[in-house]
Amino acid sequence: KQEVTQIPAALSVPEGENLVLNCSFTDSAIYNLQWFRQDPGKGLTSLLLIQSSQREQTSGRLNASLDKSSGRSTLYIAASQPGDSATYLCAVIVYDMRFGAGTRLTVKP
């Protein structure tokens, strides 16, 4: 059974810092990986989808990488802002989607 782990569970940084969130999974036979953010009391918002044939995907200040062989993905956030404060979740995709527990990010002004 696929196990998805996200480290750290929580992270607090001052505004302007660059940061990395980690996602690891136990079964490398995945199709894709998707990163989401979730604001308190809200649904999940898609950030990036990395297909298995890709190693990297970028959207604005966000860059996500995928290394299937090692079972790892990272989400890099450049020049963090208070508006980035949220919980970030990764989902590994075969036909279904399995989620990690998330990283709760706080960016302090």
Binding site for another protein (CB under 8 A): 31-32, 34, 36, 42-46, 49, 51, 89, 91, 93-102
Q: Between 21 and 80, name the residue whose CB sits nearer to another protein.
A: 21
CA 22 from centroid of its chain's CA atoms: 7
Q: Smallest gap, in angstroms, from Cβ of residue 17 to another protein?
A: 26
78: DSSP letter? -
Q: What are phi and psi of 35, to 5 degrees?
A: -105, 140
Q: Smallest gap, in angstroms, from Cβ of residue 95 to another protein?
A: 6
CA 100 from centroid of its chain's CA atoms: 9
Q: Between 19 and 93, name the residue whose CB sits nearer to another protein.
A: 93
The span from the CA of 80 to the CA of 91, in Å, is 22
Q: Smallest gap, in angstroms, from Cβ of residue 16 to another protein?
A: 29
Q: Between 76 and 99, name the residue whose CB sits nearer to another protein.
A: 99
Collect all residues with Cβ–Cβ distance below 8 Å to 43 and sequence separation of at least 6: none
